[in-house]
């Protein structure tokens, strides 16, 4: 019962470094999402993928890129990290069978110094 798995759990970067956050789900879900969570701002959608082979921008996409590698995996890349990208990042997935329910991973805590 893995559900949605995110790696790494913690990461510290220096300004300007790049990294990729990995997300995989084993529930055969069609849709996947990346959210960021910041104090006092709730969860904000960065990018989402309605199905394999498609991606679209969310509310706060600047500074990020995504890849829907296959049905299971959806990665988030920071090409040149900035302190403003210090946040907790959550991946989620859903499918028509579960209708509106989002299944979240346990998050990646990212600090950019």
Partner 1 sequence: QQQVKQSPQSLIVQKGGIPIINCAYENTAFDYFPWYQQFPGKGPALLIAIRPDVSEKKEGRFTISFNKSAKQFSLHIMDSQPGDSATYFCAARLTGGGNKLTFGTGTQLKVEL
Alpha-carbon gap, residue 81 to 17, rounded angstroms: 5
Alpha-carbon gap, residue 25 to 30, rounded angstroms: 10
State yes or no: residue 110 binds partner 1 (CB under 8 A).
Answer: no
Selected from 15, 18, 26, 59, the binder of partner 1 by CB under 8 A is 59
Q: What count of Cα atoms within 13 Å lies in the side-chain half-sphere of residue 61?
A: 11
Residue list 28-57, contact with partner 1 (CB under 8 A) = 31, 33, 35, 40-45, 48, 50
State yes or no: residue 105 binds partner 1 (CB under 8 A).
Answer: yes
State yes or no: residue 58 binds partner 1 (CB under 8 A).
Answer: yes
């Amino acid at each position: 019962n893995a559900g949605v798995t995110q790696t790494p759990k913690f990461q510290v970067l220096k300004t300007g470094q790049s990294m990729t956050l990995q997300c995989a789900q084993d529930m055969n879900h069609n849709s996947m999402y990346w959210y960021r969570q910041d104090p006092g701002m709730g969860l904000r959608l960065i990018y989402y993928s309605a199905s394999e082979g498609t991606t679209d921008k969310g509310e706060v996409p600047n500074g990020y890129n995504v890849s829907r590698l296959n049905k299971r995996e959806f990665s988030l890349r920071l090409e040149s990290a900035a302190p403003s990208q210090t946040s907790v990042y959550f991946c989620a997935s859903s499918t028509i069978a579960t209708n509106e329910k989002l299944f979240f991973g346990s998050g990646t805590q990212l600090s950019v110094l």
